[in-house]
């Protein structure tokens, strides 16, 4: 294994680095880059463990995963506190406690689903049966925005179908991830779930390893393309969720009072650091003042601060890299004479806080509209005709989610059918569900997660064809 070409190509630094609390910039701990030798050893252990795990009866694997859900529930309070400390999202509102409940639910659902063999063809002369076999070892590359929830999306379906998993959490949210893996491994058999830590070169070595049969990745388009390149070395199957620049279209005459709460959280959940957040809002010119005033009024009442403070509903941006990117987009908007409809109060704290910001007098072609800001900034764009709004909404290299907001559900569905996205929500945004497949189009990636289709994605189909 040491003599393979990818081992020589990939260099992993032995220099550790710090993890910070984004609310206070206090040091949480020192993160170590897992060495190539350690990764090789973990993969060898995973190969042996996977054979034993996949040989267990299906009902036994289901029961074990349900016990994992119980363990996550039992430790949800302390894990939520770890999320808040390292990722930054508040304990209150749809924050860290919300994330932990999602972890429990997204563990229970795959454990409850069945994917039995299927007779795909039968006549008097033959019978063809489709079976779903485990792939082997799944490399899971998790992001920093929902570090535990998205890790669960990758881990649990893979284990459910008999695979072993080696997960690399984001270097920005290592310690909360390690704490959750510790809880899960208190229930699982040894070595069926292992973790490596460090920067991108650790993930690069892992994903290109010849023993990896599947890579599940959530992150940026740029890194997603590197994962695709790495998979050329081992022909690993891929599920890629590379973010999006989700558009929302408000149809004329919307009763905004009825929808303002869903609209706000559709855009600003987790400080806008959610792949399927609403990141571009198209509003008919006749409704522009009404909609922007409603958003301003709602934003004015949302407290921001240290996530450990029970009064905080929004927290900081997670890391300096993302903070600088968002500030650059705000500066660019100032330079093009955009209208700053609303700018919230920034907490008097040391962390990476960016106040809620609504920006108008911008359009497609402005960076704040064309680039995924992934933060608490929402551009609001006027349109004259519905055809114009649809065209501008589709004018993006990404296509993860989109939404249509209307009093008329029939009209909303007609518009939804024309939007280029993996999911189009009506009168809601980002409303994912563990039974409902989720994935993107264009450069948002390919493959789906969740539900039966998500289980299929971590298996290989096998046909047994019988001549009668």
The residues annotated as belonging to the active site are: 241, 275
Residues composing the chain: 468
Local structure of residue 304 (DSSP, 8 states):
B
Q: What angle do CA 228, 430, 432 make, to 5 degrees?
A: 80
Q: Would you tell me how many other CB atoms lie within 10 Å of the CB of residue 280?
A: 26
- What does the block give as tokens for 27? 């040091």
The β-bridge partners of 141 are 168, 217
- What does the block give as tokens for 154? 């990758």
Q: Give the sign of the dihedral formed by CA 148, CA 149, CA 150, CA 154.
A: positive
Burial of 101 from C-beta contacts in 10 A (0-12 / 13-18 / 19+): middle
- What does the block give as tokens for 325? 């990117």
Closest by CA position to 171, among listed 145, 198, 150, 149: 198
Packing angle of the helix pair 200-207, 36-55 (nearest 10 deg): 50
Distance separating alpha carbons of residues 96 and 82, to the nearest angstrom: 9
3-state secondary structure of 386: helix
Residues 33 and 202 sit within 8 Å (Cβ to Cβ): yes
Cα–Cα distances in angstroms (integers) from residue 270 to residues 80, 141, 177, 313, in the given order: 14, 20, 18, 9
């Amino acid at each position: 294994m040491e003599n393979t070409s990818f081992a020589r190509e990939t260099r992993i630094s032995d220099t550790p680095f710090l993890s910070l609390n984004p609310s206070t910039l206090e040091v949480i701990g020192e993160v170590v880059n897992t060495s190539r030798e350690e990764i090789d050893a973990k993969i060898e252990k995973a190969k042996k463990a996977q054979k034993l795990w996949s040989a267990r009866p299906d009902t036994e694997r289901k029961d074990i995963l349900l016990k994992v859900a119980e363990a996550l529930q039992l430790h949800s309070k302390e894990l939520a506190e770890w999320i808040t400390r390292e990722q930054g999202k508040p304990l209150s509102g749809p924050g860290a406690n919300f994330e932990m409940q999602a972890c429990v639910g997204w563990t229970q659902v795959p454990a409850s689903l069945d994917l039995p063999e299927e007779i795909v063809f039968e006549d008097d002369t033959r019978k063809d049966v489709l079976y779903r076999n485990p792939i082997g070892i799944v490399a899971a590359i998790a992001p920093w925005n929902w570090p535990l929830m998205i890790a669960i999306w990758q881990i649990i379906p893979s284990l459910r179908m008999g695979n072993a998993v080696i997960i690399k959490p984001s270097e920005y949210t290592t310690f909360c991830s390690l704490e959750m893996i510790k809880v899960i491994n208190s229930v699982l058999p040894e070595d069926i779930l292992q973790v490596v830590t460090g920067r991108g070169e650790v993930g690069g070595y892992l994903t290109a390893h010849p023993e990896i049969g599947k890579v599940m990745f959530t992150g940026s388009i740029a890194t997603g393309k590197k994962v695709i390149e790495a998979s050329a070395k081992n022909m690993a199957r891929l599920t890629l969720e590379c973010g999006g620049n989700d558009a929302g279209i408000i149809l004329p005459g919307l009763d905004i009072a009825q929808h303002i709460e869903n609209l706000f959280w559709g855009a600003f959940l987790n400080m806008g650091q959610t792949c399927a957040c609403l990141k571009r809002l198209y509003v008919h010119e006749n409704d522009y003042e009404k909609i922007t005033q409603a958003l301003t009024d709602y934003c004015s009442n949302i407290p921001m601060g240290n996530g450990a403070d029970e009064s905080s509903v929004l927290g900081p941006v997670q890391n300096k890299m993302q903070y600088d990117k968002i500030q650059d987009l705000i500066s660019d908007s100032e330079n093009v004479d955009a209208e700053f409809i609303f700018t919230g109060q920034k907490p008097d704290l040391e962390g990476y806080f960016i106040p809620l910001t609504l920006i108008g007098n911008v359009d497609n072609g402005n960076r704040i509209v064309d680039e995924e800001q992934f933060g608490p900034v929402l551009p609001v764009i006027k349109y004259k005709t519905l055809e114009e709004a649809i065209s501008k909404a589709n004018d993006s290299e990404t296509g993860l989610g989109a939404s249509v907001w209307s009093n008329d559900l029939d009209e909303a569905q007609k518009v939804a059918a024309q939007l280029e996205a993996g999911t189009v929500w009506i009168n809601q945004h980002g409303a994912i569900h563990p039974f409902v497949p989720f994935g993107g189009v264009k450069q948002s990636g390919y493959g789906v997660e969740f539900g039966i289709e998500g289980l299929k994605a971590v298996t290989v189909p096998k046909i047994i064809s019988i001549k009668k």
